Structure 1
């Protein structure tokens, strides 16, 4: 039990103080930008990095206005997932996976829903109220909205 608590505290510290983790904090070229996208019914227009990180780490399960959030992610080895996690959340994919695994195995939470392609991500976000995910700019269409990061 004590070991679990120590590991959970260590992970929380990693996720909360990890801005130094990603080498490149700025945006890639516009063509390479990976953007936060949400279902059109989401009223939140922007999120802080901390709130975004909490949503994707599954520590926060609702939007700031209280609406239930449904999180979608690509596989850990997908290059778009890696870019999003490093650039926007400032953590590595394996750190995020560790947070999900810990929540699932301890019975205190769940992992986000995985999709295999950006096309599937677009479809699921467009069809799921409260959905949040990410896409490269060129994969966007008018069925989803972009959420800015403060």
Structure 2
């Protein structure tokens, strides 16, 4: 019974959601607050001044929900409300939406300044991992 309560490291690691960026992004560590501001579209550039291009999965995607809750500590609907407010008020725009983790990897790998997220199992050498403090 006690063993059932222990985490399964291999499965947990495979399903871990990582923050990824285009290889030309100089910053490899972001604070949770900076990451949250970027994904809320309140911060539009990397700390070094380069424009950031944000990619997200659809709000209904389970990986998007996990990313928002686990990494940003916000609910997906809160992000959507922030994006909708900016779009409707004309003060900003929503992030670019991709349909799958495979498309996320491709778009981040080929878009300078791009930032996104995916499960570790989709990762390859075309992108870099951004560490969150």
Q: Given the two structures, how large is their TM-score scaled by the length of structure 2?
A: 0.91
| Partner SS, residue 83 of structure 2 | helix
Q: 2: distance between equivalents of 1:121 and 1:29?
A: 21
Is 1:142 matched up with 2:125? yes
Residue number among 84, 101, 104 corresponding to 2:84 in the alignment? 101
1:42 alignment counterpart: 25
What secondary structure is seen at the aligned counterpart in 1 of 2:67?
helix
Q: How many residues are matched?
A: 123
The CA deviation string for residues 60-109 of structure 1, in whole angstroms up to 9 with x for no partner, is: 00001100000000000101000000000000000000000000000000
Deviations 1:25-75 (A, max 9, x none): xxx921221000000000001000000000000000000110000000000
Q: How far, CA to CA, are the matches of 1:29 and 1:130 in structure 2?
A: 29
Residues 121-136 of structure 1 aligned to structure 2 (within 5 Å)? 121-136=104-119
Which ranges of 4 or more aligned residues in structure 1 deviate by more than 6 Å? Answer: none
- Superposed CA RMSD in Å reads 0.9
User: For the residues of structure 2 that align with 1:78 and 1:34, how far apart are their CA atoms?
Assistant: 13
Find the counterpart in structure 1 of residue 72 from structure 2. Answer: 89
2:12 is the counterpart of 1:29: yes
Which consecutive unaligned segments of at least 5 residues does structure 2 have?
1-10
C-alpha distance in structure 1 between counterparts of 2:128 and 2:118, whole Å? 11
Q: Give unmatched runs, 5+ long, in structure 1.
A: 1-27
Partner of 2:63: 80
Q: Distance in 1 between matches of 2:129 and 2:40?
A: 20
CA distance in 1, matches of 2:90, 2:114: 23
Distance in 2, Cα, partners of 1:117 & 1:40: 20
